[in-house]
A = this chain, B = another copy of it.
Amino acid sequence: MKKMEEKILAEAAILPGGVLKVGSFLNQQVDTVFMKEIGEEIRDLFRDEEITKILTIESSGIPIAISAGFAMGLPVVYAKKNKSSNISGDCYSTPVKSFTHGDTNNVVVTKEYLSADDRILIVDDFLAHGSALNGLINIVGQAGATVVGCVAAIEKGFQMGGDSLRAKGYRVESLAIVDEMTDNEITFRRD
């Protein structure tokens, strides 16, 4: 069994509305000892690729992206959800809908942190409908950079965002794919 699957079974809770609560190790609270192993797993998955930079989105993507960045020795860029006064100059920007929060944010990355030469690994905590990953792919495209692949800590396989990206030819690696979730049982996808 994969590390992330074991951790989910040991620590996650299922909340009403199909929310998988992983606040004890992945968001809210970050288990850095576990995340170090996860970073190394991501490094190993993409060992044969020439990646120049990791891209994620605030806030809950940052811990796993930083963990991968530590393991791979690569810079991490994180997209922000609102243009704020301390982002200067021109930005790449795209709307991203949050199904969790029920709103749409303008997601921005300052242009100087992505260039056409970059080979980007996109990392996020959850992959469900795929809105965040699609938004980040859009931003990489605006920069003329290359998407080498996408990593999600946890994919909700029943919400199709991951499979839709795979069908378009993207390499999507999820560290655990939940194919079914009832009030008291989680079923993972097996290859």
Contact pattern, A 40-74, Cβ under 8 Å of B = 1, otherwise 0: 00000000000000000011001100110110011
Is B32 a contact partner of A59 (Cβ separation < 8 A)? no
Return A4 CB to nearest CB of chain B, in Å: 17
Choose one: B32, B78, B85; the contact of A30 (CB below 8 Å): B78
Is B113 a contact partner of A30 (Cβ separation < 8 A)? no
Is B66 a contact partner of A28 (Cβ separation < 8 A)? no
CB contacts (< 8 Å) of A58 on chain B: these are 58-59
Q: Which of A101-130 contact B (CB under 8 A)?
A: 101-102, 109-110, 112-113
Shortest Cβ distance from A76 into B: residue: B30
Shortest Cβ distance from A74 into B: residue: B32
A27 CA to B15 CA in the complex, in Å? 32
Shortest Cβ distance from A53 into B: residue: B29
Return A26 CB to nearest CB of chain B, in Å: 11
Which residues of chain A have a CB within 8 Å of any CB of chain B?
Answer: 13, 15, 17, 19, 21, 23-24, 27-33, 35-36, 58-59, 62-63, 66-67, 69-70, 73-78, 80, 84-88, 100-102, 109-110, 112-113
* 13 sampled A-B residue pairs with Cβ under 8 A: A15-B86, A19-B86, A21-B88, A23-B110, A24-B113, A28-B80, A29-B75, A29-B113, A30-B69, A31-B75, A32-B69, A62-B66, A85-B101
